[in-house]
Amino acid sequence: MFWQKEIETMPRRELEALQLERLKWIVDYSIRNVPFYAKRLGEAGVTAEKIKSLSDVTYIPFTTKADIRDNYPTGLFGADMKKIVRVHASSGTTGKPTIVGYTRNDLNNWADQVARIAVAVGVTDEDIFQISFGYGLFTGALGLHYGLERIGCTVIPASSGNTEKQLMLLRDMKVTGLVATPSYALYMGESAKESGYPMSDYKVRIGLFGSEGCTPEMRAQIEKVWGLFATDNYGLSEIMGPGVSGECIKRCGLHIAEDHYLPEIIDPVTLENKDAGESGELVMTTLTKEGIPMLRYRTKDISRLNYEPCACGRTSARMDKVTGRTDDMLKIRGVNVFPTQIESVLVGMDHIGPHYQLVVRREGFADTLEVKVELISGEVLDRYSELERLQRKIHDKLKSVLGIETKISLVEPKTLERFQGKAKRILDLRQVDSNQ
């Protein structure tokens, strides 16, 4: 199924010609409307006329989140506030939030991009969707809301929190589609099983999950709990929001809306471009965005690109599910460790649940990693030999995957924090330890 079939199945040569035309346009638009880009591109000697092919995008300097913050709040906007009809922002956990603006045309394009990824996984105008993302400055809830409404879905803006009410709405409204973070979908599933209502009372058949990473193992767990078809989509507020890319029914990569974005993969250290099929940091250039154009924005997300045609009939490039972030990567005794590596080992193992926490400490001059894992049942705590075997099994599997020693702590059920938004799995105490 397609939402905009002509665009989604456009021959590669025509698609790239469209991208080149729009790349020239966005460079010219940025120079004319954003003083920051006029100065930066001028210093680099870049004009629209210099862009002769898509590979010439490398002439353009990178844009980073720091650039947006340094021009807080609206210094990178490409339109007057009179033309800005919506403002969103990142969480701002490390300082001031990054403010992004949308023109009416941006919102129209955004709704179509979300509609594409939803229809690609089987959503129809018969579906009733419950959005369990928090509404507000975060792009996820409203982004998916308007895209699903464009298809004709019934949308329930439940927002996040109040899980008991969430479950009541799922049952009573016969909801068929769920939007949530993967970790909250799992928590809702746990709560549903404990609520006293049979799982047959729930009619959810499809999940549009995002906002945080989801390993194949976690996805399998969600599907097992809910009996739904779980799909992944990708987006970030600096570029647009959800809908930048999403899976199709084949689930073999996330189709990028390439008529609106030009993706690249770079080496995060050398900043050199990598070939198709090689893993590295995803860089995105917006091709149509008026509110806040982004030229070669460094997302910090680790992925890779596949330009082979998909069995679904779509011709757009596909990106792998994000395997980690360059700024989420933990360096433990010289070894690069991503939380997703640990999650892939833990999820689905007997006796343990999907909830875990990584605690990093500095003891003397060495870093240590403790992995706290929550048990499904507290009964195991009374069986010492079984507990010891489980700890050893987790330890050995993690050592095989990570190549380093870890301390495994098995904790009682429901003692680790649950998250309704993005899960925060890492507790890095190294700075605290060094100050003591």
Within 13 Å of residue 405, how many CA atoms lie on the same side as its CB?
Answer: 4
Q: Read off the pLDDT of each residue in 230-245 and give the average, rounded to a whole number.
A: 95
Exposed / middle / buried, residue 429 (Cβ in 10 Å: 0-12, 13-18, 19+): middle
Q: What's the CA gap between 369 and 361, in Å, rounded? A: 7
Q: What's the CA gap between 215 and 358, in Å, rounded? A: 16
Instruction: Check pLDDT > 80 for residue 435.
Output: no
The predicted structure's pLDDT at residue 93: 43
Token pair for 88? 């969103």
Q: What's the CA gap between 129 and 332, in Å, rounded? A: 42
Token pair for 125? 């105008």
Q: Band of the pLDDT at 424, cuts 50, 70, 90?
A: confident
Domains 1-327 and 330-435 share a fold: no
Phi (first) and psi of residue 158, to 5 degrees: -70, -25
Q: Band of the pLDDT at 365, cuts 50, 70, 90?
A: low
Neighbours of 191 (CB within 10 A): 14
Instruction: Check pLDDT > 50 for residue 100.
Output: yes
Q: How many helices (H) and strands (E) does the chain have?
A: 12, 21
The predicted structure's pLDDT at residue 326: 74
Instruction: Check pLDDT > 60 for residue 54.
Output: yes
The SS3 of residue 140 is: helix
- The CA distances from residue 399 to 39, 337, 369, 394, in Å, are 50, 11, 11, 9
The SS3 of residue 216 is: helix
Q: Do 261 and 239 touch, CB atoms closer than 8 A?
A: yes
Which overall architecture, per CATH, does domain 330-435 show? 2-Layer Sandwich (3.30)
Domain ranges of the chain: 1-327, 330-435
Which residue is it, tokens 């010219």?
Answer: 28
Which residue is it, tokens 């419950």?
Answer: 130
Q: What's the CA gap between 390 and 204, in Å, rounded? A: 34
Q: What's the CA gap between 178 and 175, in Å, rounded? A: 8
Q: Band of the pLDDT at 36, cuts 50, 70, 90?
A: very high
Q: Band of the pLDDT at 432, cuts 50, 70, 90?
A: low
The predicted structure's pLDDT at residue 94: 45
Q: Read off the pLDDT of each residue in 405-433 and give the average, rounded to a whole number.
A: 81
Which overall architecture, per CATH, does domain 1-327 show? 3-Layer(aba) Sandwich (3.40)
The predicted structure's pLDDT at residue 218: 86
Enumerate the β-bridge partners of residue 63.
297
Q: What is the pLDDT of residues 181-194, one digit of tens each?
A: 888 998 899 899 99
HEC sequence for 214-230: CCHHHHHHHHHHHCCEE
Least confident of 35-39, 311-315, 415-419: 415-419
The predicted structure's pLDDT at residue 364: 67
Q: What is the pLDDT of residues 69-81, one digit of tens each?
A: 899 999 999 999 9
Threshold 0.75, pTM exceeds: yes
